[in-house]
């Protein structure tokens, strides 16, 4: 009989994360939502435990646990707090990963080690007012001036912006070349002249995170801070987002598991009081539907992140990755992201029906978890975009007519 299993070191790591969640995340999960603050003490603890640097190689201070270890952490934290999981995801998936995959040796020594070993926080600036899911439409510019680039423009909805020290930012360096050669990614430090973090956003959910705009006004960035080579920014962005969608699905899995646990606990408790709830078929079916989708999601998530792990290791080692492999991975991560995020949302809706008005009230965590889950259908590419990726690959794969690049 086939079972989903993990090596002993990853099972041990899961236990470590579970203990951390029980002792340090659960006690503050409601408070950080209601007071809307980023729990920096908890963020520092994440760094001390190595959770903010899981996939990075050990020679750069990382935990070297790959994408599977990273997914385990997101799953366990996601059961309780999507705010904390989002902070972790923005740090690892959007900053640590592109640095260890695309960074030069000097960039890794300076910036990656700062993120893994010196308590620095990272953020990823891609989205703009006119470029959300369509990353190809960015308008921030970077013009060469000697051995520097001058950045002008702005980014919005940047997770971790208000607490970050290191930013990966995308700008147009050659408008005539479009996305294939015209966009470059840069490493920008918090103190660079001409760069500042703008207004913090007020949000429906994940209120324990910082989400803000980035403003560039003649910000000078040295050429050695180009990440992945001039003109390769779109490749850096797509590679980062493809992989990030896979591990994001692990967070959504955790959300669905966490709410399922709450449903079961509540039904057992109410059943002892009224003698009826345990045998209510409508309630049983809601729990059964959630359990079925959670079980299917587990296999989808870990099969997907294993593929992402293979992909990232090939890229980091500068080995050739075939177009077929890249397209298969894009479709797989799109399926995982869209399906599992919607599994989580459906689970939240069922929980609200089971808890009734009690679930609608603050305090039990149901309404918070519901609000927190919605964002997983939106960030790192909306689920509508994921469906476009999936359908495009299925329809055009194998046809004589070549797909658009």
* The token pair that represents 396 in the structure block: 């055009």
Q: How far apart are CA 338 and CA 387, in angstroms?
A: 8
Residue at 266 is within a domain: yes
Residue-wise pLDDT for 242-299, tens only, equals 999 999 999 999 999 999 999 999 999 988 888 888 889 999 999 999 999 999 999 9
Nearest-angstrom CA–CA distance, 63 and 130: 37
Please give the residue range of the domain that contains residue 328. 233-396
* Average pLDDT over all residues of the chain: 94
For the chain, give the number of residues: 405
246 and 385 housed in the same domain: yes
**Neighbouring-strand partners of residue 216:** 153, 195
pLDDT score, position 164: 98
Looking at the fold, whether 203 and 145 belong to one and the same domain comes out as yes
Q: What is the CATH number of the domain that holds 24?
A: 1.10.540.10
Backbone torsions φ then ψ of 129, nearest 5 degrees: -55, -35
Give the containing element (helix H, strand E) for 150: strand 148-159
Angle at 106 between CA 101 and CA 109, to 5 degrees: 80
Does the residue 405 lie in any domain?
no
pLDDT beyond 70 at 400: no
Share of the chain above pLDDT 70, in %: 97
Please state, in angstroms and rounded to a whole number, the distance separating the CA atoms of residues 53 and 55: 6
pLDDT for position 275: 81
Contact yes or no for 283/267 (Cβ under 8 A): yes
The beta-carbon contacts of 288-293 under 8 Å, at least 24 apart in sequence, are 289/346, 289/350, 290/256, 290/259, 290/260, 290/263, 290/346, 290/347, 290/350, 291/260, 293/256, 293/343, 293/346, 293/347
Average pLDDT estimate for 48-68: 93
SS3 318: coil
381 in the same domain as 264: yes
Active-site option among 22, 342, 380, 404: 380
Band (pLDDT 50/70/90 cuts) for residue 130 is confident
Which residue among 227, 251, 279 closes a domain? Answer: 227
Same domain, 181 and 314: no
Split at pLDDT 50, 70, 90, the class of 70 is very high
Give pLDDT, residue 131: 81
Domain-located, residue 313: yes
* pLDDT in the model for residue 136: 75
**Is 2 inside any structural domain?**
no
| pLDDT given at position 104 | 97
Asked whether the predicted pLDDT for residue 101 surpasses 70, the reply is yes
Which structure tokens are listed for 54?
A: 């899981």
Q: Quick check: is 404 in a domain?
A: no
CA angle 183, 67, 101 (to 5 degrees): 35
- d(CA 8, CA 257) in angstroms, rounded, equals 22
Handedness of CA 51, 56, 59, 65 (dihedral sign): positive
Write the CB contacts of 294 (distance below 8 Å, at least 6 apart in sequence). Answer: 253, 256, 257, 260, 343, 347
- Tell me 93's DSSP state: I
Position 405 scores a pLDDT of 45
Same-domain pairing of 260 and 195: no
CA-to-CA distance for 93 and 310, rounded, in angstroms?
Answer: 15
- Are 167 and 223 contained in the same domain? yes
178 plus 274 within the same structural domain? no
Q: Domain for residue 401, yes or no?
A: no
Q: Which residues of 236-246 are buried (b: 16+ CB within 10 A; e: fewer)?
A: bbebbbbbbbb
C-alpha count within 13 angstroms, C-beta hemisphere, residue 245: 28
Together in a domain, 321 and 269: yes
- Residue 178 Rama label (left phi>0; alpha psi -120 to 50; beta): left
Domain count, the chain: 3
For position 398, what pLDDT does the model report? 66
The pLDDT of residue 1 is 44
Q: What is the pLDDT of residues 322-371, one digit of tens each?
A: 989 999 999 999 999 999 999 999 999 999 999 999 999 988 999 999 99
Helix-strand-coil split of the chain, %, nearest 5: 60, 15, 25
Task: Collapse the DSSP code of 146 into the 3-class scheme (helix H, G, I; strand E, B; otherwise coil) and give the result.
Answer: coil
380 is catalytic: yes
Which of 96, 120, 144 lies at the terminal end of a domain, its last residue? 120
The model's pTM: 0.94
pLDDT of 3 > 80? The answer is no
| Residues 333 and 357 grouped into a single domain | yes
Strand ranges (E), 179-338 = 183-189, 195-200, 211-222, 226-227
pLDDT at site 4: 82
Residue that finishes a domain, picked among 227, 252, 287: 227
Q: Looking at the DSSP assignment, which residues form a beta bridge with residue 185?
A: 170, 227
Report if residue 3 sits inside a domain: no
pLDDT given at position 105: 96
Question: How far is C-alpha 110 from the chain's CA centre?
Answer: 23
Instruction: Judge if 36 and 139 occupy the same domain.
Output: no
How far is it, in rounded angstroms, from Cα 210 to Cα 197? 11
335 and 387 in a single domain? The answer is yes
Q: Are 62 and 116 in contact (CB under 8 A)?
A: yes
Same domain, 139 and 178: yes
The per-residue pLDDT for 178 is: 85
129-133, 146-150, 327-331, 387-391: the lowest-pLDDT one: 129-133
pLDDT at 354: 95
Give the CATH number of the domain where residue 378 resides.
1.20.140.10
- Nearest 5°: phi and psi at 402? -75, 135
Q: Is residue 289 part of a domain?
A: yes
Between CA 118 and CA 105 the distance in angstroms is: 18
Please tell me the distance from the alpha carbon of residue 323 to that of residue 138, in angstroms, as a whole number: 25
Task: Give residue-wise pLDDT tens across range 310-329.
Answer: 999 999 998 999 989 999 99
- Helix (H/G/I), strand (E/B), else coil: 205: coil
Left (φ > 0), alpha (ψ -120 to 50) or beta: where does 280 sit?
Answer: beta
């Amino acid at each position: 009989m086939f079972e989903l299993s993990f090596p002993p070191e990853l099972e041990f790591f899961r236990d470590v994360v579970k203990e951390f969640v029980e002792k340090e995340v659960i006690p503050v999960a409601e408070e950080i939502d209601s007071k809307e603050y980023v729990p920096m003490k908890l963020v520092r603890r994440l760094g001390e435990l190595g959770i903010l640097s899981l996939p990075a190689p050990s020679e750069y201070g990382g935990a070297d646990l790959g994408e599977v270890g990273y997914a385990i952490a997101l799953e366990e934290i996601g059961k309780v707090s999507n705010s904390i999981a989002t902070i972790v995801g923005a740090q690892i998936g959007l900053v640590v990963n592109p640095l260890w995959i695309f960074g030069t040796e000097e960039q890794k020594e300076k910036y990656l080690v700062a993120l893994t070993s010196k308590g620095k926080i990272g953020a990823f600036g891609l989205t703009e007012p006119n470029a959300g899911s369509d990353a190809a439409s960015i308008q921030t510019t970077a013009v060469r001036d000697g051995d520097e680039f001058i950045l002008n423009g702005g980014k919005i909805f940047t997770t971790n912006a208000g607490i970050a020290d290191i930013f990966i930012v995308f700008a147009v360096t050659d408008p005539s070349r479009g996305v294939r050669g015209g966009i470059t990614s840069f490493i920008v430090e918090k103190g660079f002249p001409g760069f500042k973090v703008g207004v913090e956003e007020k949000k429906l959910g994940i209120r324990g995170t910082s989400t803000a705009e980035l403003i560039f006004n003649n910000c000078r960035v040295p050429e050695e801070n180009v990440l992945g080579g001039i003109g390769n920014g779109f490749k850096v962005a797509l590679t980062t987002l493809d992989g990030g969608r896979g591990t994001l699905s692990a967070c959504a899995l955790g959300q669905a598991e966490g709410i399922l646990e709450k449903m079961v606990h509540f039904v057992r408790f109410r059943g002892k009081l009224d003698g009826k709830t345990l045998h209510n078929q409508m309630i049983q079916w809601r729990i059964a539907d959630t359990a079925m989708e959670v079980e299917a999601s587990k296999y989808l998530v870990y099969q997907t992140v294993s593929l992402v792990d293979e992909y990232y290791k090939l890229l980091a080692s500068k080995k050739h990755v075939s177009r077929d492999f890249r397209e298969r991975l894009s479709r797989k991560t799109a399926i995982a992201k869209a399906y599992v995020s919607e599994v989580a949302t459906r689970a939240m809706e069922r929980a609200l029906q089971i808890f009734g008005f009690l679930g609608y009230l603050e305090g039990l965590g149901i309404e918070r978890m519901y609000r927190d889950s919605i964002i997983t259908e939106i960030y790192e590419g909306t689920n509508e975009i994921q469906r476009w990726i999936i359908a495009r690959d299925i329809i055009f794969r194998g046809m004589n007519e070549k797909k658009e690049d």
